[in-house]
């Protein structure tokens, strides 16, 4: 599945898996359900081409369309902060490689993931099908607008940085729901924010410094 540019597929052997999980724990990913999901979803198929050999390192890597697959520990920390229950309906904005959505699919009842690049959505769908992840709906669209037709969402995870938590996404969050979003005006200064919707408004908690591609309006040019 991870064969690209004539390279042999990379198999996730037990030692790699142990080292991978140890790296997650050392960075603060301790939730048993999140660790179990990240053990079950092999990162290898989501990294293609010349970077395939580095799939199990705790680092972001380039993917198609000028995007990146996030550092596994950051994926774990974002997922952990979202505190997803088995009954939750989750919206992810920024499908990218599909890795984050695959992790979410092991934790939530339903996952909707949106990306502005048709190529990325098509490739992610192929992986989801191959992995029998049938509770994910992948859509090409403008992630900055969310997915109002399917709202409200119990959890929203944004994998691109906005200057402020986008108001259309806040409006699509259920009362009691949580949104995890990188916020910052440049790729050098960003903070991961946890937004919790209450009966009377929104609570904001700053989690950790991060670096993500910007959240852009409209559809991408593949």
d(CA 23, CA 27): 6
> What b-and-e string marks burial along 142-181, b requiring 16 or more CB atoms within 10 Å of the CB?
bbbebbeeebbbbbbbbbbbbeebbeebbebbeeebbbbb
Cα Rg, the chain, nearest whole Å? 16
Instruction: Calculate the CA 138 to chain-centre distance.
Output: 12
- The span from the first CA to the last CA of the chain, in angstroms, equals 22
The single residue of 70, 97, 144, 151 carrying the catalytic annotation is 70
Neighbour tally for 136: CB within 10 Å: 24
In angstroms, the Cα distances linking 117 to 44, 138, 216 are 21, 11, 11
**Packing angle, helices 72-82 and 14-26, rounded to 10:** 60
Respond yes or no: is residue 26 known to be catalytic. no
Rounded Cα–Cα distance for residues 71 and 46 (Å) = 12
Residues forming the active site: 70
């Amino acid at each position: 599945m991870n064969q690209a540019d004539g390279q042999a597929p990379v198999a996730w052997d037990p030692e790699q898996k142990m080292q991978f999980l140890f790296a997650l724990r050392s960075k603060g990913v301790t939730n048993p359900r999140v660790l179990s999901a990240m053990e079950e979803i092999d990162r290898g198929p989501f990294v293609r081409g010349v970077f395939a050999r580095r799939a199990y390192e705790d680092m972001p890597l380039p993917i198609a369309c000028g995007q990146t697959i996030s550092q596994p520990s950051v994926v774990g920390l974002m997922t952990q902060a979202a505190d997803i229950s088995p009954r939750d309906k989750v919206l992810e904005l920024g499908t990218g490689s599909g890795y984050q959505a695959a992790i979410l699919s092991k934790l939530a009842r339903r996952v909707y993931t949106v990306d502005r690049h048709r190529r990325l959505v098509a490739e992610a769908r192929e992986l989801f099908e191959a992995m029998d992840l049938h509770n994910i709906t992948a859509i090409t669209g403008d992630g900055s607008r969310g997915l109002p037709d399917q709202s409200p969402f119990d959890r929203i995870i944004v994998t691109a940085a906005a200057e402020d938590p986008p108001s259309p996404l806040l409006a699509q969050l259920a009362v009691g729901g949580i949104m995890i979003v990188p916020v910052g005006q440049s790729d050098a200064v960003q903070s991961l924010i946890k937004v919790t919707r209450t009966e009377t408004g929104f609570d904001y908690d700053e989690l950790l410094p991060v670096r993500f591609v910007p959240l852009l309006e409209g559809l991408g040019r593949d």
